[in-house]
Structure 1
Amino acid sequence: MPAITPPDFDRFYRHDELTRLLHHYAEALPHLVQVQAIGQSHEGRGILVAILTNTRTGAHADKPALWVDGNIHAAELTASTACLYYLHQLASRHGDDAQVTHLLDTRTVYICPRLNPDGAELALADKPRHIRSSTRPYPFDEEPVEGLTIEDVDGDGRMLTMRIPDPHGPYKKHAEDPRLMVPREPGEFGGEYYRIIPEGTLKNYNGFEFRINRDVEGLDLNRNFPSLWRQEHEQLGAGPYPASEPEVRAMVDFFVKHPNIGAAISYHTHSGVILRPMGTQSDDDMIPEDLWAYKRFSALGEKLTGYPAISIFHEFKYHPKEIITGTQDWVYEHLGALFWTVELWAPNKEAGITGYKWIDWYREHPVEDDLKLLKWSDEQCDGQAYVAWKPFDHPQLGPVEIGGWDRMNYWRNPPPHLREREVARFPGWMTQIALSLPKLELLRAEAEPLGPDTWRVRLAVANSGWLPAYVSKRALERKTVRGVIFELELPAGASLVSGKPRMEGPQLEGHAPKSSLQAFLPNRDVTADRAVAEWVVRAPKGAVLKLQARADRAGRVAAEVALG
């Protein structure tokens, strides 16, 4: 196997570089890596998927598959790094690592490092902007005629914050460290106060009032998926209709055309947690068997990555009265495949802050946490995570100071020296999920003579995976998967006496035990992972029959039987 130089995981790649990088893997390891454009972005950039499997052991579509994507949100660039890191681990370790070798020999991994290339390109531009998702103007095309537009005013390549002295301002300098801005206490007066606003420029400023403009590019691609889609008044950035955006439509179409995908993981930033469905229902409303499987794999994720695994509905709401829908609902609720969102990176955890609640912490936390973060910036980030305030003559506001947290490079994403460490946590977990997917195996293909030209033909198969062939009870409920499909192809001169050329068999269970050995009642159906199809055929001795079995999420097997 040719040596593959690993990417530089400390930096983020722009679109053309990323494209060349993916094609380099395909050119160096054509039997392991293929690259396919599954669609084009709003601005016409290719949305690329790396297809990883050993083609010498079968086509990618004939094997059960794991989907991995990243960077659906523009500035969440570490998500793309996580995908690249896993791609390199798989491509470089096949043949040397037993788990990776077995994975690519028996299964497929689809990796889309950057689902939203336009937004990422804007975040990486020489004069960057950090929008939520797509660069398509939405819901309106017009530029704002007034208010503050967030942008890099002083030309240092960062969008920080501006502090302006104001006797009515809600913030003040911290007594121990004047760099740190903290809220005024209720009823407090008579001090030196400031108004804190994002770095940006103003239009039609009257000298007294303005508002912060939303980005003209107001889409959130993660709210555009078909299942449980809601209009703009309920969910910001949802788009005009489900899958209206080319980036989302490309992923939806790919999933529909690849029913072999049984599990998926989407990488985002930040919070340092693994999120599991549902987004719209409590655990009490979930199908128990599916919840048990989710908890099992989520606990495995905690163990292997060090990230807590939590419920979106119960523990990760932006507002306690609101629900969040997105990819997780479409993949699991609609299709019945397993799905997790990983929110990479937690700067507060990095600073030694413990015992916090994810979203609630951003709403309110003790000032001691901010002091810990400042110390982390000074000691671990050369003082660049929290930028010292510097005077600036603003074109509309006059004298201001610019500084504060560099959210793009230290909050949304880890600093360069921590990026590889952060994404290196996840390959083992992803591989174990993929190796747990259902896998159709051939047990026996045989023909028994019943007479001089009559034969009983049997094809026996089994699911060797931990998960059932249908993956989840939700898939059965939604009727998105069929049982095993058996097919028989007869040579010229042969005919069927009984049976059909194509027959649907049962759903195959996996080898996950239904209960412990200490259960009161034994599992009666101990071979529910196996199925047999039978035909009676009239054909001359020496004829060759072609048999195959396939299950949407467990793959395909084929055999030939020579009569006699």
Structure 2
Amino acid sequence: MTLPATPTPSFDVFLKYDALTRLLFDYADAHPTLVSVDSIGKSHEGRDIWVATVTNIATGVAADKPAFWADGNIHAAELTASTAVLYFLHQLCSGYGTATEEGRQITQLLDTRTIYLCPRLNPDGAELALADRPRHIRSSTRRYPFDEEPVEGLTMEDVDGDGRILSMRIPDPHGAYKKCEQDPRLMVAREPGEFGGEYYRLMPEGTLKNWDGLTVKVNKDVEGLDLNRNFPAFWRQEFEQVGAGPYPTSEPEVRAMVDFVVAHPNIGAGISYHTHSGVILRPMGTHSDDDMIPEDLWSYKRFSAMGEKLTGYPAISIWHDFKYHPKETIGGTQDWLYEHLGALFWVVEIWSPNQAADIKDYKWIDWFREHPVEDDLKLLKWSDEQCGGQAHVDWQPFQHPQLGAVEIGGWDKMNYWRNPPPHLREREAARFPKWMMQVALSLPKLELLRTEVRALGPDTWRVRLAVANSGWLPAYVSQRALQRKIVRGVMFEIVLPPNDPSITLVSGKERMEGPQLEGHAPKNSLIAFLPSREVTADRAVAEWVVRAPKGTRLALTARADRAGAVRTEVSLD
């Protein structure tokens, strides 16, 4: 039987739901021993939320291997996030078994680990963002907090039917903006105390309801959820955290992910892809580095520095460097994986138009509040030279149904800010596979060291099973996991043939807990070397004494939640 060829998607195009579904199953059809696709739940509108499980089933089932999770597109219009996850899937499928250095790394990865990939956690919102007349809501399409249409105000939408939501400008002597002296296409802020010039009032492209001819209020989206604020850790009500939903995991998309991760304790690390800012964000969102467990902070900094080197994105702390307001904290997010479960977790904000325009040394959030006009001119030049003049759209007159004569134009935030332009999408997605693979290959991995059978008498035997953690990280992954009592030590199990009174367990238990296993990460550098008291802390041994006839076969198992499982048989002879 000839299998279908590996799909060759175009990563400069954002896929609608049906096309994305077909692509995932095409990978599964082309690589049935590597890829399976399953629904982990239904979205608000009833779409399946797909997860691809990627591992070589010839070397063991997915649940018996340590696992890495990656998701994307929890926010509706952040479509490049799904591209990054799909690109990783493509690299894994096309590289497995090849003789290149990357191919050998991929082969080792899928032979020893499991990768769970959810390219689109929010299929409803993404479908709305990809509609012919798009809406740029943040998350789910469920109406929240009220199931009502606005009775007044401006609703952001594509008014002129060009498939974009831009800005509208209207001449107004009290307006806050003016044309830039260096380039009149660009609107810049009016200076304090400035008067006597030509000024404009700017507002989002949209339509107005019950307009009084004077005042304009921009409506919030009736779909006011933020799925990334609906996770269990540090969840807070609407008055403290906008869009968090009525209670933690109230939304089916979030509940599907939480249920899946909890049901797969082999997941030891993960990444969630978002846009935009061009940064790698590490926990915590609610605590400073000083309040984190030091050993976990050291691990985070080590892997984050690795990510910075391999991707070119700076790695920063959410708490210290990425607050929307200095007095606000970001809780209830996907760093729930670390806070509650002790799995290492990052958020990657893909794409920075600032970096593309060669703007240096800017602060990711502060820049949007205030920056020099020279930055805007660099961005305008980038639009002209690299984007065919489409990132910033020239102002065009339009007869608005309520406002009358306006001009529509300005920055195309959806296609050039929130997401990179088509010709740069694959380049951005290609930054991450090496880092993800290195993190996944650092996960703990339980391996069989040896089995021993020794006769203590004619029908009495000592049986020993020795295992080791061959991974860089400890079997528990983080101190937070130990603190939260999420992970047990190695669980050893012996299975005796049933219904045979001649076979009994003399000592040892059918199931017993062994120690936590360290990884091969050194505790300090050789320059500061101090002899360790636990030279073999990566190993564990279980022992039983069994009374049974010679030739009896016994099944032995060792399992560590985050390090996988090993299974073997011994013969008493």
TM-score normalised over the length of structure 1:
0.99
Q: Which residue of 1 aligns with 2:561?
A: 552
| 2-structure distance, mates of 1:34, 1:53 | 9
| 2-structure distance, mates of 1:205, 1:278 | 44
| 2-structure distance, mates of 1:296, 1:426 | 16
Does residue 1:447 correspond to 2:456, yes or no? no
Secondary structure, counterpart of 1:410 in structure 2: helix
| 2-structure distance, mates of 1:541, 1:523 | 42
Q: Which residue of 1 aligns with 2:525?
A: 516
| 1-structure distance, mates of 2:333, 2:491 | 29
Q: CA deviation at 1:2?
A: 5.5
| 2-structure distance, mates of 1:509, 1:233 | 44
Q: CA deviation at 1:329?
A: 2.8
Aligned equivalent of 2:338, options 320, 323, 332: 332
Aligned equivalent of 1:245, options 236, 248, 251: 251
Aligned equivalent of 1:432, options 435, 438, 446: 438
- The one-letter amino acid of 1:279's match is G
Q: Is the alpha carbon distance of 1:41 and 1:328 closer, same or farther for their aligned partners in structure 2, counting shifts above 3 Å?
A: closer
Q: Which residue of 1 aligns with 2:402?
A: 396
Answer whether contact 1:277 1:328 (CA < 8 A) is retained. Answer: no
Q: Which residue of 2 aligns with 1:42?
A: 44
Superposed, 1:131-530 pairs within 5 Å as 131-491=137-497, 492=500, 493-519=502-528, 521-530=530-539
Answer whether contact 2:157 2:205 (CA < 8 A) is retained. Answer: yes
Aligned-pair RMSD on alpha carbons? Answer: 0.8
Answer whether contact 1:279 1:328 (CA < 8 A) is retained. Answer: no
Answer whether contact 1:453 1:539 (CA < 8 A) is retained. Answer: yes
Q: Which residue of 1 aligns with 2:62?
A: 60
| 2-structure distance, mates of 1:305, 1:42 | 34
| 2-structure distance, mates of 1:176, 1:470 | 58
- The one-letter amino acid of 1:563's match is L
| 2-structure distance, mates of 1:520, 1:535 | 38
Aligned equivalent of 1:73, options 66, 72, 75: 75
Answer whether contact 2:398 2:406 (CA < 8 A) is retained. Answer: yes
Number of equivalent positions: 564
- The one-letter amino acid of 1:7's match is P
Q: CA deviation at 1:195?
A: 0.3
Q: CA deviation at 1:327?
A: 3.5
Secondary structure, counterpart of 1:382 in structure 2: coil
| 2-structure distance, mates of 1:327, 1:182 | 34
Aligned equivalent of 2:84, options 82, 85, 98: 82
Q: CA deviation at 1:222?
A: 0.1
Answer whether contact 1:447 1:561 (CA < 8 A) is retained. Answer: yes
Secondary structure, counterpart of 2:349 in structure 1: strand
Secondary structure, counterpart of 1:176 in structure 2: coil
Secondary structure, counterpart of 1:358 in structure 2: coil
Q: Structure 1 unaligned runs (5+)?
A: none
Q: CA deviation at 1:518?
A: 2.2
Q: Which residue of 2 aligns with 1:92?
A: 94
| 1-structure distance, mates of 2:566, 2:123 | 37
Answer whether contact 1:278 1:328 (CA < 8 A) is retained. Answer: no
| 2-structure distance, mates of 1:294, 1:477 | 17
| 1-structure distance, mates of 2:40, 2:328 | 33
Secondary structure, counterpart of 1:518 in structure 2: helix
| 2-structure distance, mates of 1:48, 1:326 | 23
Q: Which residue of 1 aligns with 2:135?
A: 129
Q: Which residue of 2 aligns with 1:561?
A: 570
Answer whether contact 2:335 2:346 (CA < 8 A) is retained. Answer: no
Answer whether contact 1:228 1:329 (CA < 8 A) is retained. Answer: no
Q: CA deviation at 1:559?
A: 0.7
- The one-letter amino acid of 2:29's match is E
Answer whether contact 1:263 1:337 (CA < 8 A) is retained. Answer: yes
Write the deviation string for residues 41-64 of structure 1: whole angstroms up to 9, x where unpaired: 000000000000000111001100
| 2-structure distance, mates of 1:56, 1:5 | 22
| 1-structure distance, mates of 2:282, 2:31 | 34
Q: CA deviation at 1:310?
A: 0.3
Aligned equivalent of 1:537, options 528, 546, 563: 546
Secondary structure, counterpart of 1:320 in structure 2: coil
Write the deviation string for residues 138-189 of structure 1: whole angstroms up to 9, x where unpaired: 0000000000000000000000000000010000001111111111111001
Secondary structure, counterpart of 2:338 in structure 1: helix
- The one-letter amino acid of 1:439's match is K
| 1-structure distance, mates of 2:392, 2:192 | 26
Q: CA deviation at 1:519?
A: 2.2
| 2-structure distance, mates of 1:247, 1:500 | 42
| 1-structure distance, mates of 2:272, 2:283 | 12
| 2-structure distance, mates of 1:329, 1:379 | 39
Q: CA deviation at 1:7?
A: 1.0
Q: Which moved more, 1:444-453 or 1:324-333?
A: 324-333
Secondary structure, counterpart of 1:365 in structure 2: coil
Q: CA deviation at 1:110?
A: 0.2
Aligned equivalent of 2:24, options 11, 22, 25: 22
| 2-structure distance, mates of 1:408, 1:326 | 26
Secondary structure, counterpart of 1:327 in structure 2: coil
Stretches of 4+ moved more than 6 A in 1?
A: none
| 2-structure distance, mates of 1:31, 1:123 | 34
- The one-letter amino acid of 1:206's match is D
Secondary structure, counterpart of 2:254 in structure 1: helix
Answer whether contact 1:133 1:219 (CA < 8 A) is retained. Answer: yes
Q: CA deviation at 1:520?
A: 5.3
| 1-structure distance, mates of 2:523, 2:334 | 26
TM-score normalised over the length of structure 2:
0.98
- The one-letter amino acid of 2:90's match is H
Write the deviation string for residues 475-524 of structure 1: whole angstroms up to 9, x where unpaired: 00000110000000012331011110000000000000011122253111
Does residue 1:33 correspond to 2:35, yes or no? yes
| 1-structure distance, mates of 2:452, 2:251 | 50
Answer whether contact 2:468 2:539 (CA < 8 A) is retained. Answer: yes
| 2-structure distance, mates of 1:356, 1:365 | 9
- The one-letter amino acid of 1:429's match is W
Answer whether contact 2:7 2:23 (CA < 8 A) is retained. Answer: no
Answer whether contact 2:228 2:334 (CA < 8 A) is retained. Answer: no
| 1-structure distance, mates of 2:523, 2:333 | 29
Q: Is the alpha carbon distance of 1:16 and 1:56 closer, same or farther for their aligned partners in structure 2, counting shifts above 3 Å?
A: same
Q: Percent of aligned positions with the same letter in both sequences?
A: 78
